[in-house]
C-alpha cells in the first residue's frame, strides 16, 4: 500500500471513529447520571420549601420582638399589661383579706382607728398588686412560649435551608467528579484506540 493511500485510510478511519465516539459519549452513562443529578434539587425542594418559608416568615417577627425587649422594655411591658382586668376571684380574696384585717382590729380594740384604716388600705393594695402580678405572670408565660415557638420555627427554617444548601453542594461535587471521570475515561479510550490503530497500520 503506497503512503498516500495509507494516509487517506488513516484519515477516513479516524473520522469514522471520532464520529462513533461522539455518539457514544453523547448517550453515555455519565451524561445520563448528570441529567439525573440535575433533577434531584427540584424533587427535594417541595419537601423542604414549607420549612424554609416558615423560617423566613418567623425570623423578622423574632427580630422585632427582641428589638422591643432591648430598645424599649417599658413599652413592651405596658403593651403586655394593657389587657389587665381584675380576675374573677379578686373581689372574693379582697373581701376575705379585709374581713380578716377588720376582725384583727376589732379584737385589739383598734376598729375604726386611723391605724386600722391604714391597715385595710394596705390589704386592698396588696390584693390588687398580687392580682396584677398573677395576670402579668400568665401573660409573660404565654409571651415567652410564643417567642420560643417562633425561635423553633426559625431553627426549622435554618435547618431546612442548610440541608438544601448542603444537598446542592454535594450534587455539584458529584457532577464535577462525574464529569472529570467521564473526561478521563474518554481520554483513556481515545488513547487505547489510537494505539490499536497505530498497531494496525504498522502491520
pLDDT at residue 72 greater than cutoff 90: yes
Buried b / exposed e along 75-89 (16+ C-beta atoms within 10 A): ebeeeeeeeeeeeee
pLDDT band at residue 42, thresholds of 50, 70 and 90?
A: confident
What pLDDT score does 49 carry?
Answer: 93
Q: How far is CA 125 from CA 114, 118, 132, in A?
A: 16, 11, 11
C-alpha cell at 22: 461522539
pLDDT in tens, 153-193: 999 999 999 999 988 888 888 877 777 766 555 555 445 44
Region 71-92: what's the mean pLDDT?
Answer: 88
Give the count of alpha carbons within 13 A of 105, CB side only: 18
Owner of C-alpha cell 487505547: 192
**Average of per-residue pLDDT values in the chain:** 76
CA–CA distance, 21 with 36 (Å, rounded to integer): 22
How would you class 160 by CB atoms within 10 Å of its CB: exposed for 0-12, middle for 13-18, buried for 19 or more?
buried
Domain ranges of the chain: 3-7+31-201
Q: How far is CA 122 from CA 97, 117, 119, in A?
A: 10, 9, 5
CA–CA distance, 200 with 202 (Å, rounded to integer): 5
What pLDDT score does 117 carry?
Answer: 78
What pLDDT score does 161 carry?
Answer: 93
pLDDT in tens, 110-129: 777 777 778 877 888 888 88
pLDDT in tens, 43-52: 888 988 999 9
A 10 A CB-CB count for 154 gives 20
Amino acid at each position: 500500500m503506497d503512503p498516500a493511500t495509507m494516509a487517506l485510510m488513516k484519515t477516513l478511519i479516524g473520522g469514522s471513529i471520532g464520529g462513533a465516539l461522539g455518539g457514544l459519549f453523547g448517550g453515555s452513562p455519565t451524561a445520563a447520571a448528570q441529567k439525573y443529578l440535575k433533577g434531584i434539587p427540584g424533587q427535594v425542594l417541595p419537601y423542604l420549601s414549607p420549612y424554609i418559608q416558615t423560617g423566613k416568615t418567623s425570623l423578622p417577627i423574632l427580630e422585632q420582638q427582641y428589638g422591643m425587649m432591648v430598645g424599649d422594655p417599658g413599652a413592651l411591658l405596658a403593651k403586655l399589661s394593657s389587657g389587665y382586668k381584675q380576675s374573677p376571684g379578686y373581689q372574693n380574696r379582697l373581701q376575705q383579706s379585709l374581713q380578716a384585717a377588720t376582725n384583727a382590729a376589732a379584737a385589739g380594740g383598734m376598729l375604726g382607728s386611723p391605724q386600722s384604716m391604714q391597715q385595710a388600705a394596705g390589704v386592698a393594695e396588696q390584693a390588687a398588686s398580687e392580682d396584677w402580678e398573677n395576670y402579668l405572670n400568665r401573660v409573660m408565660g404565654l409571651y415567652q412560649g410564643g417567642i420560643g415557638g417562633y425561635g423553633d420555627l426559625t431553627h426549622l427554617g435554618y435547618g431546612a435551608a442548610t440541608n438544601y444548601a448542603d444537598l446542592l453542594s454535594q450534587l455539584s461535587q458529584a457532577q464535577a467528579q462525574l464529569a472529570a471521570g467521564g473526561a478521563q475515561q474518554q481520554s483513556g479510550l481515545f488513547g487505547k484506540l489510537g494505539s490499536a490503530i497505530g498497531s494496525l497500520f504498522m502491520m
